[in-house]
């Protein structure tokens, strides 16, 4: 289906949903009718923007951001979503994306339209998209290992999936405005007449308070946040009985954390998700609540494993990177970089190839070592990483966050003994340090964005 039909379907549905609440933003509910009114307003305000114009939206999931997003889709603009909370880090992305217009939306009233001085020769990939006369989408990788890569999509292909109607639960949009995970949640909920509950921060106590207040049914989040939730015990301070599903993705899930969640929330479905900015979000099905084995694919996706690495083929895959070489094989398969195990139709994602620690030619997956260390009673969090070594190339290192352990040096010895009992010797951490705070920031560095 073409982009014009996709957007027309959304707007027709908005009329049907009428006074139902589409989004709860900063404590106020805004109806589908209100979103339509703002679309009409911005359609007139932005009528000078032509098809193929590269427009950045620096905002969050506010009614104004949502309305502007739909107007730009109607006009076949190339849209670059940027999270307003990280505007100091967005400057380099303006240049990579070759922005022509920046719309900065800080809340509902403070909206600025800025024309950028674009001196660049237009990227060849943009020309391919403009010739098709469809809207575009530029999404950025995290850039944790260098300059972020800019993935260019045909936005109309990403929207096709939302023509299939599904059940829309009242959902907290935990994932960010500049990630496809966050946008995917938004489009899914709005296409099915649900309600999106937006966040002002991602503190576990605050998130739990919103779940209780608005009777949220679905929380799409990351293992890092779920670990924060357990450490903070925020779930003890608020009623979470409305929650039906917790979906998790963006980074590996520690097996011990999943087991803990399964015991703590026996009535909540724990659903592993899988998606990459280059591909979008794929349909997934966990083997069961306590399993890390997941079936992925669904309509429009094919999967295969080559040299233990997952590859995916999809019509909705990105056109390419604006600033990096193509990651596709000659026959059109995207090389995900995720090493996996297979069991029938199910996969277990072991970790990114880039995260593997090479110890004297042996491969060590940080996730496996972390899972073993997390089995110890006093360990609350751990990050395993590699460090250069002149003899073995690398050694395995670990930073550990403990729960009220007096003798830290003796506990380090216990960790090594515990690891030697359960792991091959080359996987046992050589260097272990005890830290005073959990490493949420370290974990977020490993997120696939």
Q: Is 301 a member of any domain?
A: no
Q: What is the pLDDT of residues 76-112, one digit of tens each?
A: 999 999 988 766 677 888 889 999 999 999 866 788 8
Q: How far is residue 100's CA from residue 339's CA, in Å, rounded to a whole number?
A: 39
- DSSP strand pairing (21-25 vs 54-59): unpaired
Residue 54 reports pLDDT greater than 90: yes
Q: Is 195 a member of any domain?
A: no
Q: What is the pLDDT of residues 185-233, one digit of tens each?
A: 999 999 999 999 999 888 899 999 999 999 999 999 988 888 888 888 9
Q: How far is residue 141's CA from residue 224's CA, in Å, rounded to a whole number?
A: 18
Check residue 446 and give its pLDDT: 39
Q: How many helices (H) and strands (E) does the chain have?
A: 13, 26
Q: Is 331 a member of any domain?
A: no
Of 142, 159, 176, the residue that ends a domain is: 159
Check residue 370 and give its pLDDT: 87
The domain total for the chain is 2
Q: Is 71 a member of any domain?
A: yes
Of 159, 187, 215, the residue that ends a domain is: 159
Check residue 406 and give its pLDDT: 66
Of 159, 180, 212, the residue that ends a domain is: 159
Give the pLDDT band (50/70/90) at residue 383: confident
Nearest Cα residue to 360 out of 386, 398, 384, 395: 395
Determine the structural domain holding residue 119 and report its residue range: 3-159
Q: How far is residue 71's CA from residue 40's CA, in Å, rounded to a whole number?
A: 8
Residue 336 reports pLDDT greater than 80: yes
Q: Is 258 a member of any domain?
A: no
Give the pLDDT band (50/70/90) at residue 285: confident
CB 375 within 8 A of CB 348: no
Q: Is 50 a member of any domain?
A: yes
- Mean pLDDT value across residues 234-251: 90
CB 302 within 8 A of CB 279: no
Check residue 440 and give its pLDDT: 56
Q: Is 426 a member of any domain?
A: yes
pTM above 0.75, yes or no: yes
CATH of the domain at 407: 3.30.300.30
Q: How far is residue 77's CA from residue 73's CA, in Å, rounded to a whole number?
A: 6
Q: Is 62 a member of any domain?
A: yes
Dihedral, CA of residue 167, residue 171, residue 174 and residue 176, to nearest 10: 60
Nearest Cα residue to 240 out of 271, 261, 224, 259: 261
CB 296 within 8 A of CB 342: no
Q: What is the three-class DSSP state of 12?
A: helix
């Amino acid at each position: 289906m073409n982009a014009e039909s996709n957007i027309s379907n959304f707007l027709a549905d908005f009329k049907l949903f009428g006074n139902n609440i589409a989004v709860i933003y900063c404590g106020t509910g805004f109806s589908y009718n209100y979103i339509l009114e703002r679309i009409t307003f911005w359609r007139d305000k932005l009528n000078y923007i032509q098809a193929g114009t590269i427009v950045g939206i620096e905002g969050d999931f506010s009614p104004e951001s949502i309305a502007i997003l739909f107007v730009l889709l109607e006009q076949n603009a190339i849209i670059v979503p940027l999270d307003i909370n990280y505007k100091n880090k967005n400057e380099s992305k303006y240049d990579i994306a070759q922005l022509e217009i920046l719309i900065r939306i800080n809340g509902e009233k403070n909206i600025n339209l800025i024309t950028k001085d674009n001196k660049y020769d237009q990227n060849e990939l943009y020309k391919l998209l403009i010739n098709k006369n469809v809207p575009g989408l530029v999404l950025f990788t995290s850039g944790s290992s260098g300059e972020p890569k800019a993935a260019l999509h045909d936005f109309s292909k990403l929207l096709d999936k939302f023509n299939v109607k599904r059940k829309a639960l009242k959902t907290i949009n935990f994932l960010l405005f500049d990630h496809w995970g966050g946008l995917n949640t938004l489009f899914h909920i709005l296409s099915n007449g649900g309600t999106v509950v937006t966040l002002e921060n991602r503190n576990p106590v605050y998130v739990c308070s919103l779940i209780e207040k608005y009777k949220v049914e679905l929380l799409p989040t990351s293992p890092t946040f779920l670990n924060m939730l357990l450490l903070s015990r925020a779930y003890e301070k608020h009623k979470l009985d409305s929650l039906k599903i917790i979906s998790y993705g963006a980074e590996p899930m520690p097996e011990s954390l999943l087991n803990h969640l399964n015991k703590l929330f026996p009535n909540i479905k724990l659903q592993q998700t899988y998606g990459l900015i280059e591909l979008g979000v794929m349909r997934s099905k966990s083997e069961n609540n306590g399993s890390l084995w997941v079936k992925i694919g669904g309509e429009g996706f094919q999967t295969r494993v080559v040299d233990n690495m997952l590859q995916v083929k999809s019509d909705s895959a990105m056109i390419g990177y604006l600033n990096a070489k193509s990651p596709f094989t000659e026959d059109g398969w995207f090389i995900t970089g995720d090493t996996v195990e297979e069991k029938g139709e199910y996969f277990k994602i072991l970790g990114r190839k880039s995260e593997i620690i090479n110890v004297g030619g042996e491969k060590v997956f940080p996730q496996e070592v972390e899972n073993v260390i997390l089995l110890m009673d006093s360990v609350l969090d751990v990050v395993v990483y590699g460090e250069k070594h002149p003899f073995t190339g690398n050694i395995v290192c670990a930073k550990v966050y403990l729960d009220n352990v007096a003798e830290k040096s003796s506990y380090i010895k216990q960790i090594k003994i515990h690891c030697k009992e359960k792991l091959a010797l080359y996987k046992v951490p050589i260097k272990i340090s005890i830290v005073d705070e959990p490493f949420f920031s370290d974990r977020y560095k490993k997120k696939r964005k």
